[in-house]
């Protein structure tokens, strides 16, 4: 029998598409090259701690439709992301807010903070052309030097002058005492981790793990009328126009026999010298408690190192600069000619999507495609 859809990739995009297709009575097969479902949001339970294996994931959105949709598949807790920045042992609150400004400059009122920022941003005279100019124009040079430059250059492996301004515009700047990292109406972590959420989406759907579509593309294409491809778009075309650049991430994860390593889910190391970008202490995503509400005696931490991607590595972050976006457009033209293939998700569309944006994108696609 031929499936209506072959979904390549069991991340958020693929799993939601598969779920919606099944709901509409379509037959669906999901294949996944990793040994686990969930793509980058996969979590693994270690000693009652749900470890975010592919990096810390905090769900946040202003989109009520997306929130109403995703909360059907899991209960979300009230976790609010408030990372701490560690610059050579000095600790600062993130995102940039009155606590940060007070620690940086000793200013006490919003007016004093605004004056300090205005003084420092005066060096940028025109529309910011790169991340460095954008950052200075948002928060001034002191914060740029201590909290942005080192972190950003480690994360992206490029000078801040060579990075696009929009990356830093993701971070809020506030003249209030508010350490909530996101400007989002809705925020939280699925109780018990993300994997259960994906399992619910994929209930009743055949999933084949350890199965790489591109290794046997012609054979898989015969299995279904239509393909939903959520892997890297350039890999689909065998990199024939060149490789799109990604940033990759490497995690060093340790189980420690102590209850509390750093007192917070995320600590960013914003100096240049520390080789990792941040340390995640996973238990704090669920307040250090197990599902029965007991304190967890151990802890799991992950040091996160950023690296340049090369073929064979896991691609994580698309590098949406001009050069790569232009190359992507050429691949997109080829993709538009593949009549029976939908390209979706962070890698399929080469977009720096957050989870809520992936959900919005796939739900739109389902509306267009499934009836
Ligand atoms: P993916 O999760 O990448 O899924 C694609 C799947 O396709 C993978 O499982 C892959 O193995 C599979 N695949 C690829 N090629 C093939 C093939 N040839 N054959 C078979 N299978 C294949 N978003 C937030 O909203 N909040 C956060 O806090 C947040 N933190 C993040 C931290 C990190 C380190 C990273 C990298 C991302 C973060 N994101 C966050 C973004 C979030 O991970 C993505 O928006 C979302 O997971 C993308 O889902 P996806 O289905 O498009 O892609
Ligand atoms: N950033 C920074 N210092 C920090 C945290 C973030 O300079 O302590 C910058 C960095 O350039 C990063 C961008 O802000 O790429 C966006 O941060 P965010 O946390 O949104 O990135 P994510 O890891 O979610 O992609």
| Any atom of ligand 2 within 6 Å of the Cβ of 94 | yes
Q: For residue 313, what pLDDT band results from cuts at 50, 70 and 90?
A: confident
Pick the catalytic residue from 229, 247, 331, 350: 247
Taking all residues of the chain, what is their mean pLDDT, rounded to a whole number? 96
* Three-state secondary-structure class, residue 185: coil
Q: Find the mean pLDDT for residues 12-41.
A: 98
| Other beta carbons less than 10 A from residue 123's beta carbon | 11
Q: Find the mean pLDDT for residues 288-295.
A: 96
Helix (H) or strand (E) holding 106: none
Give 3-80+186-243+318-369's CATH code, choosing from 3.40.1000.10, 3.30.450.20, 3.40.50.170, 3.40.50.720. 3.40.50.720
For residue 191, report the distance from its CA to the centre of ligand 2, in Å. 25
Burial (Cβ within 10 Å: 0-12, 13-18, ≥19) of residue 253: middle
**pLDDT 10s digits, 316-330:** 889 888 899 999 999
18: phi then psi, degrees, rounded to nearest 5: -60, -45
Strands 317-318 and 246-256: antiparallel
Length of the chain: 371
| Any atom of ligand 2 within 6 Å of the Cβ of 266 | no
Nearest of 112, 80, 364, 343 to residue 228 by alpha carbon: 343
Q: Find the mean pLDDT for residues 7-28.
A: 98
| Any atom of ligand 2 within 6 Å of the Cβ of 249 | no
Q: Is 174 a catalytic residue?
A: yes
pLDDT of residue 60: 98
Distance CA 1, CA 309 (A): 39
pLDDT of residue 148: 98
The share of the chain scoring above pLDDT 70, in percent, equals: 100
**pLDDT 10s digits, 95-113:** 999 999 999 999 999 999 9
The share of the chain scoring above pLDDT 90, in percent, equals: 92
pLDDT of residue 89: 97
Q: Find the mean pLDDT for residues 357-369.
A: 98
Q: Is 257 a catalytic residue?
A: no
- Are 93 and 146 in contact by the 8 Å Cβ rule? The answer is no
Q: Is 304 a catalytic residue?
A: yes
pLDDT of residue 170: 82
Q: Find the mean pLDDT for residues 64-79.
A: 98
pLDDT of residue 311: 79
For residue 148, report the distance from its CA to the centre of ligand 2, in Å. 8
151, 184, 346, best to mutate for ligand 1 pocket (most atoms within 8 Å of CB): 346
Which residues make Cβ contacts (< 8 Å) with residue 219, sequence separation at least 6?
Answer: none
Q: Find the mean pLDDT for residues 80-101.
A: 98
Minimum-distance ligand 1 atom for the alpha carbon of 13 = 51
| Any atom of ligand 2 within 6 Å of the Cβ of 270 | yes
Q: Is 352 a catalytic residue?
A: yes
Q: Is 35 a catalytic residue?
A: no
pLDDT of residue 310: 85
Nearest of 54, 50, 48, 101 to residue 79 by alpha carbon: 50
Q: In this structure, which residue's CA is closest to atom 14 in ligand 2?
A: 168
Q: For residue 312, what pLDDT band results from cuts at 50, 70 and 90?
A: confident
Q: Find the mean pLDDT for residues 339-356.
A: 96
pLDDT of residue 308: 86
pLDDT of residue 321: 82
Which tokens go with 200? 């619910």
Pick the catalytic residue from 304, 328, 353, 356: 304
- Are 296 and 290 in contact by the 8 Å Cβ rule? The answer is yes
For residue 318, report the distance from its CA to the centre of ligand 2, in Å. 14
Which residues make Cβ contacts (< 8 Å) with residue 145, sequence separation at least 6?
Answer: none
Q: Which ligand is nearest to the CA of 149?
A: 2
Minimum-distance ligand 2 atom for the alpha carbon of 149 = 7
pLDDT of residue 302: 98
Minimum-distance ligand 1 atom for the alpha carbon of 15 = 51
The torsion region of residue 293 among left (phi > 0), alpha (psi -120 to 50) and beta comes to left
**pLDDT 10s digits, 225-281:** 999 999 999 999 999 999 999 989 999 999 999 999 999 999 999 999 999 999 999
pLDDT of residue 135: 97
The torsion region of residue 188 among left (phi > 0), alpha (psi -120 to 50) and beta comes to left
pLDDT of residue 319: 86
Ligand 1 site residues (CB inside 6 A) read: 8-14, 31-34, 39-41, 55-59, 212-214, 230-231, 249, 316-317, 345-347, 353-356, 358
pLDDT at 1 over 80: no
Q: Is 346 a catalytic residue?
A: no
Q: Is 158 a catalytic residue?
A: no
- Are 67 and 61 in contact by the 8 Å Cβ rule? The answer is yes
111: phi then psi, degrees, rounded to nearest 5: -65, -45
Residue-range domain boundaries for the chain = 3-80+186-243+318-369, 84-168
Q: For residue 63, what pLDDT band results from cuts at 50, 70 and 90?
A: very high
For residue 169, report the distance from its CA to the centre of ligand 2, in Å. 9
280: phi then psi, degrees, rounded to nearest 5: -105, 130
pLDDT of residue 136: 97
DSSP notation for 123-184: T--SS--SHHHHHHHHH-HHHIIIIIIHHHHHHHSS-GGGS-THHHHTS-B-SSS---SS--
pLDDT of residue 320: 82
Nearest of 284, 305, 266, 307 to residue 85 by alpha carbon: 266
For residue 347, report the distance from its CA to the centre of ligand 1, in Å. 7
pLDDT of residue 123: 96
| Any atom of ligand 2 within 6 Å of the Cβ of 155 | yes
């Amino acid at each position: 029998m031929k499936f209506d859809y072959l979904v390549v990739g069991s991340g958020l995009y693929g799993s939601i598409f598969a779920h919606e297709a099944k709901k509409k009575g379509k037959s669906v097969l999901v294949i996944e090259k990793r040994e686990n479902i969930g793509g980058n949001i996969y979590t693994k339970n270690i000693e009652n701690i749900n470890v975010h294996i592919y990096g810390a994931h905090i769900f946040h959105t202003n989109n009520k439709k997306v929130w109403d949709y995703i909360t059907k598949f899991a209960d979300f807790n009230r976790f609010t992301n408030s990372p701490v920045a560690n610059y050579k042992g000095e600790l600062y609150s993130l995102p940039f807010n009155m606590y940060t400004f007070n620690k940086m400059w000793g200013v006490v009122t919003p007016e004093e903070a605004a004056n300090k920022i205005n003084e420092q941003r005066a060096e940028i005279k025109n529309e910011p052309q790169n991340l460095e100019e954008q950052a200075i124009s948002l928060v001034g040079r002191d914060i740029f030097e201590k909290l942005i430059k080192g972190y950003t250059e480690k994360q992206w492996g490029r000078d801040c002058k060579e990075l696009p301004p929009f990356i830093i515009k993701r971070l809020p700047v506030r003249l209030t005492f508010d350490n909530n990292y996101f400007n989002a109406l809705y925020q939280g972590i699925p109780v018990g981790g993300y994997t259960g959420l994906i399992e619910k989406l994929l209930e009743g759907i055949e999933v084949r793990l350890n199965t790489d579509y591109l290794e046997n593309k012609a054979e898989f294409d015969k299995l279904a009328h239509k393909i939903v491809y959520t892997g890297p778009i350039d890999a689909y075309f065998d990199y024939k126009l060149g490789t799109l650049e990604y940033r990759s991430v490497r995690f060093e994860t340790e189980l420690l026999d102590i209850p509390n390593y750093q007192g917070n889910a995320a600590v960013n190391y914003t100096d240049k010298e520390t080789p990792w970008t941040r340390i995640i202490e996973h238990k704090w995503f669920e307040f250090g408690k197990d599902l029965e509400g007991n304190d967890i005696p151990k802890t799991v931490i992950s040091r996160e190192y950023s690296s340049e991607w090369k073929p064979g590595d896991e691609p994580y972050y698309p590098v949406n600069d001009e050069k790569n976006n232009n190359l992507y457009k050429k691949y997109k033209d080829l993709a538009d000619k593949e009549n029976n293939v939908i390209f979706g998700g962070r890698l399929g569309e080469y977009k720096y999507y957050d989870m809520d944006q992936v959900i919005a994108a796939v739900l739109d696609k389902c509306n267009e495609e499934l009836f």
